[in-house]
Every structure is written in structure tokens, then in C-alpha cells.
Amino acid sequence: MNQLKKFLLIIGGLLSLGLGILGIILPLIPTTPLLLLAAACFIRSSNDLYEWLISNKYFGTYIENFRLGKGIPLKAKITGVTVLWLSMGYTILFVIPLLVIKLILLFIGSFFTWFILKQKTLCKTEQQTS
């Protein structure tokens, strides 16, 4: 594997992990998607970091619940969709002048909203038994 690509994936994974950790504390940052992104980066760059992440007693349960099809917590869904549309809305309305790009962003936002909402919602009882 290209060393630069491996390095960038590790950096991306660490940044996603850091933001995911903040998401555990701060309600506006979606934890599960960021930890999934970190796992995706680590599995492509460092088996040691990937194994540490999925076996971690704090972070591993988020990834395990998703992989087992248990779903994403309702709070994470609401937060994820809200942050997505706040950032997309601001960008579409105030940053991007080209209509074509605005429509592309609208499509991307709609796709990820659909993807998040179609995931099973993790019940409180399932969260506590994990």
C-alpha cells in the first residue's frame, strides 16, 4: 500500500475517532457515523488500530451494534440529520452560487438523510445490554 495513502487514512481515522469521542459528550456531534468512518479508515491502513477500536469497551459497542444490525441510537439519527441539513442548508443558501452545485448538494443531503433514517433505530434496552 502506498505509504502516503496509509498515513492519510490513519490521520483521517484518528480525526474521526476524536470527533466521535467528542460526540459522546456533545449532543450535536453524531458518534456512530464518525466511529464507523474511523473503523473504515483503520481497516484499510492499520490492523492494530482497527482491532483496538472494535474491541474498546467504550467505542466498540457503537460499531458492534451497527454491524449486528441492531441499529443507530435515535439521538444519533436526529443529531446526524439535523447537523447535515444545517450545514447543507447554509452552504446551499449562502456559500454556493451555482444552481447545478446546489442541486447536487441537495441530492447528496437527501441521499444521506435517507440512508441514516432507513437504519434500524437502536432501542434504549438494546443499548444497555450491549
pLDDT tens, position by position, 2-59: 999 999 999 999 999 998 888 777 766 778 788 888 999 999 999 999 999 999 998 8
pLDDT for res 96: 92
Using alpha carbons, select from 59, 50, 75, 56 the residue that is nearest to residue 18.
59
Task: Report the domain count for the chain.
Answer: 1
The rounded distance, in Å, linking the Cα atoms of 57 and 81 is 27
pTM, two decimal places: 0.62
Using alpha carbons, select from 50, 51, 58 the residue that is nearest to residue 25.
58
**pLDDT above 50 (res 130):** no
What domain range includes position 107? 3-129
The rounded distance, in Å, linking the Cα atoms of 35 and 80 is 13
**pLDDT above 80 (res 124):** no
47 by Cβ neighbours in 10 Å (0-12 / 13-18 / 19+) ranks as exposed
pLDDT for res 1: 59
Residue given cell 459528550 in the structure block: 25
Give the CA angle between residues 55, 35, 87 to the nearest 5°. Answer: 170
pLDDT for res 27: 63
**pLDDT above 70 (res 127):** no
Secondary structure letter of residue 130 according to DSSP: -
Q: Which residue has the higher pLDDT, 117 or 67?
A: 117
pLDDT tens, position by position, 84-105: 899 899 999 999 999 999 999 9
Residue 57 φ then ψ, to 5°? -70, -20
**pLDDT above 90 (res 68):** no
Instruction: Show Cβ contacts of residue 115 under 8 Å, excluding neighbours closer than 6 positions.
Output: none
